[in-house]
Structure 1
Amino acid sequence: MTKSFDPLTIDFRALEVLISVYRHNSFTRAAEDLEINQSVVSYTIEKLRGVFSDPLFAREGRSLIATARCEEAVTEAIDLVQRFSQLTAAQDFDPKESAGTITIACNYYERVLIIPRVVHAIQKQAPNLKIEIVDSSYLGHDRLLRMEADLLIGPFQKLGAAFYGRKLYDDRYVCVMDSEHPFAETTLTLDQYLPLDHIYITYGGKWKSRYMQVLEQEGHAISIAIKVPSPAGIQTLIAGTNLVATVPERLSREIGKGLRITPCPVPTPIDIQLVWTTRTLNSPMHKWVRDLIVQQCRLL
């Protein structure tokens, strides 16, 4: 039987342990994340079990499954930690002197186009500021809510009152093909475009490009020759073939060198957004980083 504990003995460190175990589904990975001994994690979770009168986590095979009570506790714990962090945040931020860590969630497009500029500018203006880049995939908003990221960059919307957002810029889709492709010198019509041998970028199968959404809504379908999880390396697939890839125009400038780039006949705008939560809303350091990202994107 779990020993009961006085709730008032629980501190923010205990809540961080709970959040980390929930986030990683592992006592071991939580200990590594927080740089503490696993025995401390085990003791803390046992103490929290007594506070909430609930097992919090249960094992199913090799998986660690959170209980409904744990889900509720983690939601409240994240909110408490966020609000306390906001309350205790330094009111002055000197880029040259301040230290801290900024975690940005994004995908391949942003890592190629935006992140290098942002990293170089931060290293120049705030040399003690550390940067961590994590994959957002289709879970970017969850990463913000779970405190796994401070900022989300990409073609994402705010998705409700829990999020704040700022538009960075517009992009559009283009077609990338070999310079000897039969349609290389043609402005493609939709009827010409659909039956081409397409490289379809699946983005892990969890996110669908805007142009594909529009095509499906209008009852059209492309002829898919190859599926790939990301745009990385598609230029080598295209070279010397009749394959065609549909990618954002700004990205095509980086990965389409030596290839033919022509407008996509599916006119679909792409809004690249910067998204964050209340946790970092009023932090001077995060405000500074957000403004820096906006400034760097204006130079693209």
Structure 2
Amino acid sequence: MPGDPLEVDFRALQVLVWVHQLRSFTRAAEELGVNQSAVSYTINKLRDVFQDPLFVRQARRLHPTQRCEDIVHQAKRLTAEFRQLVAPPDFDPKTAAQTFTIACNFYERVLIIPEIVHFLKREAPNLDLEIIDASGIGHERLLRNEADLLLGPFERSDPHFYRRDLYQDRYVCLLDPEHPKAGAALSLDDYLDLDHVLVTYGGQWRSRYIIELERMNKDLKVALRVPSPAGLERLVAGSNLVATVPERLSRSVADGLHVVPCPVETSVTISLVWTTLNHRAPLHMWVRDMVYRLNTRTRKADDPPSGLGISR
């Protein structure tokens, strides 16, 4: 009764090809780095599957049968095609024509997305880029294939996700130039005594400095809650309010305001997040590498070092 053809794998075909090429079980075993008994076992299994002796000895030499010649010919073709299949396909961004969706929030739309857009329009002119809101459901949007990439301060230790950190951003405080505390560095006690504008991010995400204050059993005096950093400069200007934002964001929302370091010692990490589904997709790999390189190039020398590896 013939053997099960589903038991034949590419490793077994490789053994057959080497025995055919070298005309020797012993030399094939040496080339493959296995015992001769392993080669004999594999050839015997193939004999059962193909119902053919495959090799016969004549005049002390090993000769392939015609059936073996046909199988080896097809085996070489199959293994070559399989190697081509598993090799990363060539990718040309100039010809890429599909939609790539990035989920992010206000911070990333102001600081990171514009440079990505300009780069893609130049290097991948046929690629359609869509930016959607991440809020607090960015990971779910990845899993539902609503987004291809998540960009922002998102941490989640889940085997479905990969993450690559771009950089860390420390916090600063925004005050009106006429504020009594605008002339000197803020102590933690000074900071806690001020009237704060708290950015709630719609209740979907909590700033790292708030988490650190809770760890210290400290509370802010919150005078105003807003869902987004958009328009903070107009709320703080001419008032006694203080707003705490990441330092890089302050460059865009602190027009006319006084900026001082936040006395809470912590920072926010901006990361790329994606799923296992797109981990090896050529377009996705190219876009992720592009975003990382753009942000590495623009990272200030005095920024705290960030992790460079990919984590899951």
TM-score by length of 1: 0.69
CA distance in 2 between partners of 1:117 and 1:88 (Å):
33
Tell me the CA shift for residue 89 of structure 1: 12
Give the alignment partner of residue 179 of structure 2, picking from 181, 199, 202: 181
Q: How well do the aligned residues superpose, as a CA RMSD in angstroms?
A: 1.6
Asked whether the 8 Å contact 1:215–1:266 carries over to 2, the reply is yes
Cα 1:208–1:89, aligned 2, differ >3 Å: closer, same or farther? farther
Give the alignment partner of residue 263 of structure 2, picking from 262, 265, 268: 265
Cα 1:125–1:252, aligned 2, differ >3 Å: closer, same or farther? same
Matching residue of 1:124: 122
Tell me the CA shift for residue 258 of structure 1: 1.4
Q: Which runs of 5+ in 2 are unaligned?
A: 1-84, 300-312
CA distance in 2 between partners of 1:294 and 1:158 (Å):
19
Verify: 1:293 aligned to 2:291, yes or no.
Answer: yes
Secondary structure in 2 aligned to 1:120?
Answer: helix
CA distance in 2 between partners of 1:94 and 1:222 (Å):
52
CA distance in 2 between partners of 1:128 and 1:88 (Å):
26
Tell me the CA shift for residue 206 of structure 1: 2.2
Verify: 1:209 aligned to 2:201, yes or no.
Answer: no
CA distance in 1 between partners of 2:138 and 2:157 (Å):
11
Tell me the CA shift for residue 100 of structure 1: 1.2
Tell me the CA shift for residue 158 of structure 1: 4.1
Secondary structure in 1 aligned to 2:193?
Answer: coil
Matching residue of 1:43: none
Q: Which runs of 5+ in 1 are unaligned?
A: 1-86
Within 5 A, what are the aligned runs for 1:1-300?
91-298=89-296, 299-300=298-299
CA distance in 1 between partners of 2:86 and 2:244 (Å):
47
Secondary structure in 2 aligned to 1:261?
Answer: strand
Encode CA deviations 1:259-290: one digit per residue, 9 max, x unaligned: 11000000112111100001111111111100
Secondary structure in 2 aligned to 1:194?
Answer: helix
Q: Output the amino acid matched with 2:270.
A: I
Tell me the CA shift for residue 101 of structure 1: 1.0
Larger radius of gyration: 2
TM-score by length of 2: 0.67
Asked whether the 8 Å contact 1:158–1:275 carries over to 2, the reply is no
Secondary structure in 1 aligned to 2:94?
Answer: coil
Q: Output the amino acid matched with 2:187.
A: T
CA distance in 2 between partners of 1:186 and 1:256 (Å):
17
Q: Percent identity?
A: 56
Cα 1:163–1:89, aligned 2, differ >3 Å: closer, same or farther? farther
CA distance in 1 between partners of 2:113 and 2:156 (Å):
20
Asked whether the 8 Å contact 1:184–1:260 carries over to 2, the reply is yes
Q: Output the amino acid matched with 1:193.
A: Y
Secondary structure in 2 aligned to 1:156?
Answer: coil
Secondary structure in 2 aligned to 1:117?
Answer: helix
Tell me the CA shift for residue 90 of structure 1: 8.2
CA distance in 1 between partners of 2:260 and 2:223 (Å):
19
Secondary structure in 1 aligned to 2:174?
Answer: strand
CA distance in 2 between partners of 1:148 and 1:168 (Å):
22
Provide the aligned length of Structure 1 versus Structure 2.
214
Encode CA deviations 1:134-157: one digit per residue, 9 max, x unaligned: 100011111111111000011112
Secondary structure in 2 aligned to 1:175?
Answer: strand
Secondary structure in 1 aligned to 2:166?
Answer: strand
CA distance in 1 between partners of 2:196 and 2:258 (Å):
15
Encode CA deviations 1:151-174: one digit per residue, 9 max, x unaligned: 001111242111011110110110
